[in-house]
Structure 1
């Protein structure tokens, strides 16, 4: 429709009529003259309105559902983030407590041996580096780490430093086949050389082929010249098997390391050796032997009948002579045997007893 004077007048007229009808309807109340027209319009347009509402409501509900779904999704995501943060915090607390226990144990070991150590943490394993048993630690030359330094933890010998960078270093573990360390037996001081065997016990060659060693004996590091690469007295492991000597010049024993090489986390690099050899002081307290059970014998007052009869046979007679005295070398005379001495039995008629 064009915007002309006639169209504007028509619009003003319609608006005036609408206001007039509204005024009449309000003043009329329930008896409004336009009530019939309203009912007729409801009858005509009601089905159409319901149809349109039925068609539009699913769309509106879907839009509302999408809007609410987004809100719920945001809430679920927020709860998931909070849950993950709580789990991470709990896991971090558990790991922190574990590291504190390891660090405390390592400090006690270092204090007992008078080792000056630099604490570090294992950040990588070296399986990709030639398939050797190595780990990478987060300490290097900036921390005073040098090549051929002893590495330990709270349990004992871990290995030695092989390569060093500014911030990291590589440690060759004691169970690597290329690893070798001088050892000394606890108490007996028997010397030997231990070599790694992967996930199996270490193999130790004792220099004395007749050395007296048994399962359960323990070893420590013997130490190297100028304390490189090994300082003395670091616990190595416990003997689990001893090969027969067979007259060889050396003797082979197998030692289970104190350190679990698959659970390394907090370690210490010995940057200052002890002034004196700690010998066996760093070893943990030896386990106490299990007490042997005591066998108790109870004597019953009522002896068996057969034993009582035997005791009666061994009782002395009325004259004080025992029936069968043990240790009596004299033999009882048998029938027809001569009595001892020069006494002879009467012969002939004198031997016959007088008859009544």
Structure 2
């Protein structure tokens, strides 16, 4: 039975991606062995507005509306931007942490010559580079695993992370975020033949996969501890990258995946044997993560997002996400931004 599932899950383009991911999964565990320290913000969830459908927001009891805790837009150059512009020659680039395995978000299409990074997040990176450095291609991309997004920013390995990263209160202790650029929510992904119907009692006695440092992992652990989901739900050891969960699902090692609905829809597009189960049960917003003291850079990105939402966001959505999330982008559009009055 497992062999049949793997074979059916490895057909077409998604099969190519999955086969590559199998190798990447093994390699990532080896490469990440030295990186054992987790940021205090990893795995945390943050309240971000009203719930989707009948669900409730992902919540930190001591926090409210983290997506509004960002400084007002500005075009002024400060010390952070000045340092980026001062880079010389080939090093005069914006260094950005991204994903290279999230289909239609940040990925390499093997069918394209050169297999350059592309996707919704990548479009935004090019727009930011255009504004700051005058060249949309003045970017050094660094592939960052889910569990290394915060450390990469804190340690200065990247100027920012644009990688389907949810704004949360706990993460605001470690990094600064831009205003939201996308709205999503947690959902369940499982085989079409599975009796699982969503984030409910049908997860009882099922093994569920999440990524280390993801809001999905934090939500799942929190809800199990609080008795909001069945005590018999088995939370599998988190994986470094979200795509690793799809591979484990294809191999029959887990019964379901919990992740952002926007990512889950893309994974379902890669593998026709799986599907989204039930409605989203949180509301979350993606933001660009930067160092806490890089206020000038955060302000500039917020200014870029004002322009991008008006001219660029919809075109990028239509190109990359309409096929998986639907032609109506209303539910994915970020809310009108609200900013801190100081800072």
Q: Which has the higher contact order (CA 8 A, sep 6+)?
A: 2
Indicate the TM-score class for this superposition, using the shorter chain for normalisation.
under 0.3
Q: Which has the higher strand share?
A: 1
Q: Whose radius of gyration is greater, 1 or 2?
A: 1
Q: TM-score, normalised by structure 2?
A: 0.20
